[in-house]
Structures are given as C-alpha cells and as structure tokens.
C-alpha cells in the first residue's frame, strides 16, 4: 500500500476511529510527520489537536535504526546496550539524554507556538504517527501520554513494521494500523509525496489551542481509498 501523502493516510485512519468520535478525544501528533495524519483524524472526529515533542537517539551510522527516543516530560524508551553501541560511558550517555530531552521540549514548544501541552488526564487520547519502523519515537510519546493518566490510549498509524506490534500493543489500549507490509522499508517510502510540514507551519496551523487545522491543509483532496486492515490492541 502506498499513500499519496500523509493527509490521505490520516483520512483513511479516521474512518477506522469513528467509534471514538462521541468521546471528543484528543489527537496527539508524533513529530512533524505525524501532524498531517493527526489533522485529518481530528477534523473527522471533531477532536482536539495537539503535538508532543520527541527526539531520537541516532547511532553513529545513519543507516542503522534509532537506539531510543525521549519525549516531553522526560519519558524515554532506550534500546538495550544503546550506550555501548554509541561508544559512550554512563556519564556521557546521561549528558546525551539530557540534550535530547531539551530538544524534545524545544520541538514541542515550537510546534505549539509556546503554548503548554493539552492536559490528557481522563481523556481519550489518540496518538497519530505517520509510520512505525523502529517504533521508538511513537513509544516514547505513548509513554509520556500514559503518564498523564488518560482514560483510553490509542495508537493510530497508516503503516507499521509487524515485528514491532507486540511492543506497541503492550503500550496502548487500542492499536489501529492500516497496513503491515511483509517487507518494511523506511516510512517515507510509503508516501508518493513525502513532504512534511515545518515546526513553524504546524504552529501556524494549530493557531489557538484546541482548534484543529482545516482538513486538507497538508495535502490535496482525497481520492478513492485503499482496502484497509485494522489491528486492535488489548
């Protein structure tokens, strides 16, 4: 399955999430790539829209997957032996984590135009990602969202690497995925138009807190949808 762009993927996901519309959920975007997906879900469901910042721990070799990620509020998911693979001692690794935490906070604040994140306590929260390959950044955002004590936590993503489903299922109350390709390639491969909005464009689109950006802001009108697969968690 290849999507025209992230907005089209978000519209398809929204149709799988209509059972949550009456609960007036919060849709939480994972990074700049997840924002166009989140916009469409929020518009269709009449939901509140927000962003939670995250920063990944990248290995020395760019072709290797991320070794971990941190999200706003300090939540982190770290792969075993990450420090050793980066060639860092314990103190150096802690300094790296501190820098990445600061980057996550800065990213989130920039995307929200300086506004604080939405209070998620007792809410239905849908975390929207544009894809899950290593699954690290979405899992860090999910951990941060879970620590805010939502009533129900959902991860919605158009595309995912099947080998990461067990970890994702364990992190959420509900998991919705449109496609699980047998051979996963980088997330951007699955979009014909791979452009993502900048932090400034996201801040402008969010506008006043709690007002979703208009549907279609980051993509052309919808075309005929693909057949879809929904995967629901515990």
Domain assignment present for 220: no
CA-only gyration radius of the chain, Å: 17
- Give residue 105's pLDDT: 93
- Give residue 90's pLDDT: 87
pLDDT exceeds cutoff 80 at 16: yes
Beta-bridge mates of residue 52 = 30
pLDDT exceeds cutoff 60 at 220: no
Range of the domain at 190: 6-53+115-206
- Give residue 60's pLDDT: 59
114-150 as b/e: b if 16+ CB within 10 A: ebebbebeebbbbbbbbbbbbbbbbbbbbbbbbebeb
Residue 176 CA to residue 156 CA, distance in Å, equals 5
Provide the pLDDT confidence category of residue 59 given band limits of 50, 70 and 90.
low
pLDDT exceeds cutoff 70 at 191: yes
Residue 13 CA to residue 38 CA, distance in Å, equals 9
Domain assignment present for 27: yes
Take residue 84 and report the two structure tokens written for it: 């050793």
HSE, CB side, 13 Å, CA atoms: give it for residue 194: 8
Domain assignment present for 32: yes
pLDDT exceeds cutoff 60 at 196: yes
- Give residue 171's pLDDT: 92
Beta-bridge mates of residue 102 = none
Which residues of the chain form beta strands (DSSP E)? 26-30, 48-52, 54-57, 68-71, 76-78, 124-128, 152-159, 174-179
Read off the pLDDT of residues 98-141 as tens digits, 9 standing for 90 and up: 999 999 999 999 999 888 999 999 999 999 999 888 768 888 99
Average pLDDT in the 80-107 region?
87
Q: For the chain, what is the domain count?
A: 1
- Give residue 143's pLDDT: 94
Least confident window among 23-27, 49-53, 78-82, 214-218:
214-218
pTM comes to: 0.84
pLDDT exceeds cutoff 60 at 231: no
pLDDT exceeds cutoff 50 at 54: yes
Residue 90 CA to residue 76 CA, distance in Å, equals 16
- Percent above pLDDT 90 for the chain: 47
Torsion angle of C-alpha atoms 189, 51, 112, 196, degrees rounded to 10: 10
Residue 117 CA to residue 149 CA, distance in Å, equals 14
Domain assignment present for 214: no
Domain assignment present for 62: no
Domain assignment present for 46: yes
Tell me the CATH number at 21: 3.40.50.2020
- Give residue 186's pLDDT: 79
Look at 77 and 195; give whichever has higher pLDDT: 77
Beta-bridge mates of residue 26 = 48, 125
Take residue 76 and report the two structure tokens written for it: 């982190």
Q: Is the dihedral of CA 198, 47, 230, 150 positive or negative?
A: positive
Look at 186 and 224; give whichever has higher pLDDT: 186
Question: Any residues with CB less than 8 A from the CB of 124 and at least 6 apart, and which?
Answer: 20, 23, 24, 25, 26, 150, 151, 152, 154
pLDDT exceeds cutoff 60 at 4: yes
Least confident window among 101-115, 152-166, 183-197:
183-197
- Give residue 153's pLDDT: 97
* Spatial contact of 39 and 213, defined as CB atoms under 8 Å apart: yes
Take residue 174 and report the two structure tokens written for it: 């509900």
């Amino acid at each position: 399955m290849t999507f025209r762009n992230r907005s089209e993927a978000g519209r398809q996901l929204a149709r799988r999430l209509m059972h949550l519309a009456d609960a007036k959920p919060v849709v939480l975007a994972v990074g700049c790539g997840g924002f166009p997906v989140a916009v469409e879900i929020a518009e269709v469901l009449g939901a509140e829209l927000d962003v939670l910042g995250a920063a990944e721990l990248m290995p020395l070799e760019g072709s290797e997957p991320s070794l971990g990620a941190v999200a706003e509020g300090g939540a982190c998911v770290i792969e075993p032996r990450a420090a050793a693979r980066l060639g860092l001692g314990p103190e150096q690794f802690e300094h790296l984590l501190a820098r990445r935490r600061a980057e996550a906070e800065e990213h989130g604040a920039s995307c929200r135009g300086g506004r604080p994140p939405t209070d998620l306590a007792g809410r239905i929260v849908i975390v929207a990602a544009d894809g899950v390959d290593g699954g690290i950044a979405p899992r860090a955002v999910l951990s941060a969202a879970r620590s805010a004590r939502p009533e129900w936590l959902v991860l919605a993503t158009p595309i995912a690497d099947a080998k990461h489903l067990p970890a994702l299922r364990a992190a959420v109350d509900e998991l919705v995925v449109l496609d699980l390709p047998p051979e996963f390639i980088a997330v951007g491969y699955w979009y014909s138009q791979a452009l993502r909005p900048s932090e400034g464009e996201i801040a402008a689109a969010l506008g006043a807190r709690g007002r979703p950006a208009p549907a279609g802001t980051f993509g052309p009108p919808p075309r005929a949808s693909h057949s879809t697969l929904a995967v629901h968690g515990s």
